[in-house]
Structures are given as C-alpha cells and as structure tokens.
Amino acid sequence: MLDFDVAVIGSGLAGLTLALNLAEQKRVAVITKRSLLDGASDWAQGGIAAVLTDEDSIEAHIRDTLIAGAGLCDEKATRFVVENSRSAIEWLIRQGVPFTKDADSSIGYHLTREGGHSQRRIIHAADATGHAVQVTLAEKVKSHPNITLLERHIAIDLITGKKLGLQDNACHGVYVLDNASGKIKTFSARHTVLASGGAGKVYLYTTNPDVATGDGIAMGWRAGCQVANMEFIQFHPTCLYHPHAKSFLITEAVRGEGGLLLLPDGTRFMPEHDPRAELAPRDVVARAIDFEMKKRGLDCVYLDISHKPEKFLKEHFPTIYGRCLELGIDITRQPIPVVPAAHYSCGGILTDLSARTAIPNLYAVGEVACTGLHGANRLASNSLLECMVFGEAAVKDILAQPARAPVTLPEWDESRVTDADEEIVISHNWDELRRFMWDYVGIVRTNKRLERAQHRIRLLTEEINEYYQNFRVSNDLIELRNLVLTADLIVQCAMLRHESRGLHYSRDYPDQLPEAKNTVLTPPEK
C-alpha cells in the first residue's frame, strides 16, 4: 500500500496548482494517465480571463459570465472566482509564466477580447497559453521533493468507507493501474482530489486530447457523488477541418481580433443569426454554423482573418499559423476551414466553494466539477481561471483539516478474472458510442434522438459490465467503462430538461422556461 497525505488524480492546471500549493506542508502524489503534459490544459490557446485594468471591473466580468450562463450561474461562485482572478494571475506571473508583453498597456501585458466579454481582459502567452502555463508549472512539480509524480497510471475507482464496510462514507484512497507494469496499486490518502478533466472523447468530433474520457465524473458517481448539468456540453464553433488535423482548435481570439465566418462563396452569415455576429457566445456561433452546414449540405464553413497584416497574424497566432501552413493553408492569404466540435463539459460533480464533494475527504477541481460558475454555457477563458481559484480553495480546506491516521486498505482482488481473449469488443464499442452520441446528443437534440441514445447506452453498459467482471482491467477498458457511464449521465440530464437553455437546444422544447433550475442527479443507493 502506497501512502500519501493527498492523492491528486490528473495533471492539468487544477492538479498542478493544488500539488504545488500543498507540497510545502503535505506529501502529494500526482497520478496522471499519460505524461505530465497530456491534458486539455496544455492545449488551451486563448488565455485566462481576469480583471486586471482600471477600465475593467469585477462587476463587468461577473455580468458577462452571468449573461453567457443563461440564468444558471451560481452568483456566489461567480463572484468568488472573479474576485480572486487577479491574485490567480499574479501567482502564475510569480511562477514565471511568460505572458505576452505589451509596452503600451497600463499593466505591461497584452490583453485580448473574446466572444461574450465586454472588455479586453484575456491575458495570454501568444496563442499557446495553456502550454506556457503547464510547462512552467510542470518543471516545478518534477523537481519538488514532496511531490511524487506517477505518469502512465490510470485511476480505476475510489476507495470509500462504504466499500470497506465502515460507518463513514469518506474517501480513503484510490485503486490505480500502472500501465507500464500492468499491476494495480493501492493508494491510501487522507485527501483525494479529482482533477481529471472533462469527457470530450464521448463525441466523435472533439477538440479534447485522447485522455478526456470522463474518468473523474464516473468514479465520483460510482462512489456516491451527485452530478449536475451534464447536458451542457460546449461545442467549440471553430475546430480546424482537415483529415490530418485531429482535434486542432482555432482559438476564439481569432474572432476576437476580427476574424469573419464565411460560407464557401465568401458570404458572411453570423449577422443574420445574432446582432453580436462573430463575437456572440460560443453556443450561438456553434448552432449557427451547424444550421448553415445542415441547410446547405456543407462539410465545413470558413474563418477568415487574412485581411489583418501578416506581421500581426504571425505575432498573435504563431501556433495556428504554423500548424495551418503545415497543412497547406496560409492564414495570411486564405480562410481556415472549420467545424464545431465537443469542447467543454459545463456540468460535473457537484462541489461547494471549497471544492468539496458530498463525500468527506474527496474534492473535485476543474472541468470534472460543477461549481456553478459556468451555468448553462461557459464564458470563454473562464475555465483555466476556475482551475486555479478552486484549486487554491481546496488547498486552504485541506490544510485546515486535522491530521488523521491512514486506514489500512485491502489490495485489489484479481482472483476471479482472466486475461481478455480479444480487444476488438472495446474498440468497436468505443467507436459506436462516439458516433451515436454525435448523431443523437449533439448540438441540436430531440426527444427521439435522446431515446435512441439511451437505448444504445443500456445495451453497451450491459456488454461492458460483463466484460469488466470477467477480464483483467486495461487502460482502454477503464476508459470505455467511464465514457459509457458519462454518456448515460449526459443523456439522463438532457432528458430531464424540458426547455432550450444555453448549450442545450431541443427542437421539442425550443422555448426557455421562466425559472432556471439545475439538473441534479443522485446515484442510487447500493
């Protein structure tokens, strides 16, 4: 049994913020499925929203967030995040994150503007902010004596008091598969933090990395956590459409800096859908693109910023410029082919303002959590901010808890399983799930489509559970099991919402109800 004060599952910005802030006083394990940088945080392009100038205000940032959230944001959580935005950015600057400088700016850094924001408030490192942040923090994590980094380790399930037959239902640790050795390790921890990201891989087209398989949401649900608002999946309007450009995102900032969305004949279409045109929130833009593509039978639409000076584009969007050029697209002269793709889960495990779940000693931070900040639609560049603010809140709560002795945990039992005879079942089920989720639970939904999806999910769940009970676990099996459960939670939430609000658009319920309510699911008692 491996023993730590805190086990952090995930190595995105939420996980690294926690680990670095706890490590001065606690022994921390950072458990990550692949390498330290293989997560959605590293892929974030646009930047981090924060109130940093006198022209901006906390009230304006709150107001923009509430408007984007379509009446479902928790105002306390929103105020909490925005009021702590400056200190979060200052912490990153102290860590050495190389944000883009601007000598003419009152704060010395360049701020950009994105859809839904009333001010320029997005601090960024060119167009690869997440990578700049993650590389900076990763170096500190790797060298810290109190942090044990476990790469190529995937969490299987949380170990709770209920599972152990104890009176409490606290979380006491986690079972983890070491992908290098194939052995399952038992981690005992006084506090466990789910910082495992979202579930974009439940869809056929996504901007997310391959690791975004809903693991934390599924583990939390199985352990007894409530989940909320899983129907609100943000589809990023502009993912590069090219056979060799898997999951490459074209940041919102391209539209923020004047990029125009065009039909193949060069006609603009956004002004017909919303007075804010290209600067409308993501859900509006994604639905408009989806509408135009379906109406006209298009494979994609085009995002054109070639009217801007070449020097400006190379300076502000070097990553996008370089990647597009590799694929034969010169963004200084040509428009970029784009399609919407699953991007962000606004729902997740219900938490409070200290990032606590309903299970004692278990926290959830980042995209895996539902804090109330995003409501029915996340405002651009609020996600990395949420990771840091709630990461810091969890740190304060963990450090305030009295010390406890470790609980002796049973080893993982593999006595009644054998090696799988064939892996084709897993890859076939994975493919089927992602296709029908895209077709039936995508940008536009209907009751019939949701019923079809639910029927398929039930069949897949039976098949996967039988497989899980009879064969040794593998990384692919763990991810598939989690994806199917997460898909089920998305569909359950979508079926309960009899209106169209934010990211959830139903043809059967096109109107918005007068009262905004969260969709909360509670696991059945076992």
**The pLDDT of residue 36:** 82
Assess whether 298 and 432 both reside in one domain: no
pTM: 0.91
**The pLDDT of residue 422:** 67
Q: Which domain holds residue 6?
A: 2-231+346-400
Question: Does residue 516 form part of some domain?
Answer: no
Assess whether 440 and 462 both reside in one domain: yes
Question: Does residue 105 form part of some domain?
Answer: yes
Give the DSSP per-residue string, 426-481: HHHHHHHHHHHHHHHSSSSB-HHHHHHHHHHHHHHHHHHHHHHHHB---HHHHHHH
Assess whether 318 and 249 both reside in one domain: yes
**Which H or E run contains 303?**
strand 301-304
**The pLDDT of residue 328:** 95
Question: Does residue 410 form part of some domain?
Answer: no
Assess whether 268 and 298 both reside in one domain: yes
**The pLDDT of residue 243:** 81
Assess whether 207 and 73 both reside in one domain: yes
Assess whether 337 and 351 both reside in one domain: no
Question: Does residue 411 form part of some domain?
Answer: no
Assess whether 194 and 251 both reside in one domain: no
Assess whether 333 and 441 both reside in one domain: no
**The pLDDT of residue 148:** 97
One-letter amino acid at 419 equals: D
| CATH number, position 205 | 3.50.50.60
Question: Does residue 194 form part of some domain?
Answer: yes
One pLDDT digit (tens) per residue for the chain, 526 residues = 899 999 999 999 999 999 999 999 999 999 999 888 877 787 677 799 999 999 999 999 999 999 999 999 999 999 999 999 999 999 999 999 999 999 888 899 999 888 789 999 999 998 889 899 999 999 999 999 999 999 999 999 999 998 888 888 899 999 999 999 999 999 999 999 999 999 999 998 888 888 999 999 999 999 999 999 999 999 989 999 988 877 788 988 899 899 999 999 999 999 999 999 999 888 889 989 988 988 898 989 999 999 999 999 999 999 999 999 999 999 999 999 999 999 999 999 999 999 999 999 999 999 999 999 999 999 989 999 999 999 999 999 999 999 888 888 999 988 777 777 667 778 889 999 998 998 899 999 999 999 999 999 999 999 999 888 888 899 999 999 999 999 999 999 999 999 999 999 999 999 999 999 999 999 998 6
Closest alpha carbon to 265 in 291, 304, 239: 304
**The pLDDT of residue 476:** 92
Q: Are 370 and 228 in contact (CB under 8 A)?
A: yes
Residue 335 to residue 338: CA distance in whole angstroms: 9
Closest alpha carbon to 215 in 398, 471, 21, 11: 11
Tokens of 135: 């590389």
| CATH number, position 295 | 3.90.700.10
Assess whether 259 and 391 both reside in one domain: no
Assess whether 330 and 195 both reside in one domain: no
| CATH number, position 497 | 1.20.58.100
**Which H or E run contains 63?**
helix 58-68
**How many independent structural domains does the chain possess?**
3
**The pLDDT of residue 424:** 78
Question: Does residue 515 form part of some domain?
Answer: no
- Residues with a catalytic annotation lie at 282
Assess whether 471 and 505 both reside in one domain: yes
Question: Does residue 175 form part of some domain?
Answer: yes
Residue 408 to residue 406: CA distance in whole angstroms: 6
Assess whether 40 and 74 both reside in one domain: yes
Question: Does residue 376 form part of some domain?
Answer: yes
